[in-house]
Amino acid sequence: MPTLKSALRKIPGVKLLGTTHGLQRLMLLIGSGIMALFVLVAIFADSLAPYALAQRKYQGEFFGKQQPPSSDHILGTTVEGYDVLSRVIYGARTALLVVIMAVAASIVIGVALGVISGYLGGWLDRILVLIMDAVYAFPSLLLAIVVAIVISGGSSSGFGGMMAASLSITVVFVPRYFRVVRNATLSAKSLPYVEAAKVGGARPGRIMFGHVLPNVSQSIPVLLTLNASEAILTLASLGFLGFGIEPTSASEWGRDLSTATTSDLTNGIWWTSVYPGLAIVLVVTGVTLIGESLNDVLNPLLRTRGGTTTADERELEETVLGSQADMPDDVPAAVAGHVTEGAEAPEGGAR
């Protein structure tokens, strides 16, 4: 019968949490808490928001413009007469959908092209590298603005606007996944397991995506989290500059922040800009904390940050020390170390 400890280890993320310690674990817990709240707010926006997305009046009476926080409007109203709290809550849904679409498309396209380019090489590799380097050298925000204008004229409504913003961000992120995966594939394609797959008659497609890809994808989760935070900032920047989504179709934090800074701050109205800006800062902070914690866990050079070791490392150390303690007293320490590692001492003096 499975124990409670074994059952808890099957929960996604619990095993990863067990490999962290100290600052790593604190960062992971705080970041995960912020992101869990963000996702729940986005999913249940219709139930949590006190008013509809573009609602301006209740029971036949208009809300009033630039109203301060009150019992009817906890975070006040905007210059357009929208409820600030409702806009912030629905903005979480817009941000979540855009980030999921942009990052997912970037991973699928960038990782696939990176594996193909690194494994096959030749003229295809040179062309893809040239294109990706050209795109990567372009300023990311300017590139996103150009793509947004080409796709939707810089402004769109509803789902079309989210798709335009997602594609704009995807174009920026694809070269990053491509470069990381291609470099790892170049090193992996000459390893013995790839040669064994070739000898076994495996097709190139199976070798690339069945053997090479699982072994070069270790850095993708870290890159994913860092790109997710940048995707939120890019979406907010597009909305702030006026290339986002129509306010009556979807709520977008950057667009609401732009409207507030141009008309409200000069009049001492702070609540219309503080809360959308705070939402952006909190979500970006949460994603960044998760990314930094994952980087510490997956990077062996940073795994012992904080001066302590993980449970797995302590268990490995105890196993090594125990095997050395079982050696006879007359065996030198250097020889014991080699035997513990599995090396065999050469017979005779010749190598």
CATH class of the domain whose range is 20-298: mainly alpha
> For 20-51, how does the pLDDT look when each residue is reduced to its tens digit (9 = 90+)?
566 777 888 888 899 999 999 999 988 888 88
CA distance 235 to 155: 12
Task: Using DSSP, state whether 342 is helix, strand or coil.
Answer: coil
pLDDT at 336 exceeding the cut of 80: no
pLDDT in tens, 88-125: 999 899 899 989 998 999 999 999 999 999 888 889 99
Residue 208 CA: distances (Å) to CA of 119, 145, 173, 204, 279: 7, 34, 22, 6, 41
Q: Out of 116-120, 130-134, 140-144, pick the least confident.
A: 140-144
- pLDDT tens across 64-77, in order? 777 878 888 888 88
Per-residue pLDDT, averaged over 193-204, amounts to 84
Q: Read out DSSP for 57-109?
A: EETTEE--TTPPS-SSSTT-B-TTS-BHHHHHHHHHHHHHHHHHHHHHHHHHH
- 268-281 confidence digits (pLDDT tens): 778 888 888 899 99
Q: How far is CA 195 from CA 30, 106, 115, in A?
A: 44, 30, 16
- Does residue 215 have a pLDDT over 60? yes
What is the percent of the chain with per-residue pLDDT over 70, rounded to a whole number?
74
- Give 129: exposed, middle or buried? Use CB within 10 Å, 0-12, 13-18, 19+: middle
Give the global pTM.
Answer: 0.74
- Asked whether the beta carbons of 212 and 115 are under 8 A apart, the reply is yes
Cα dist from 274 to 39, 52, 232, 261, whole Å: 21, 21, 17, 10
pLDDT of residue 58 exceeding 90: no
Share of the chain above pLDDT 90, in %: 15
Q: Taking phi first (over 0 means left), then psi (-120 to 50 degrees means alpha), and beta for anything else, what does residue 154 get?
A: left
Query: Where exactly are the structural domains of the chain?
Result: 20-298, 311-340
CA 280 to CA 224: how far, in whole Å? 18
* DSSP SS3 for 50: coil
Work out whether the CA dihedral 259, 96, 144, 172 comes out positive or negative.
positive
Mean confidence (pLDDT) of the chain: 77
Helix (H, G, I), strand (E, B) or coil at 138: coil
Mean pLDDT across 180-198: 87
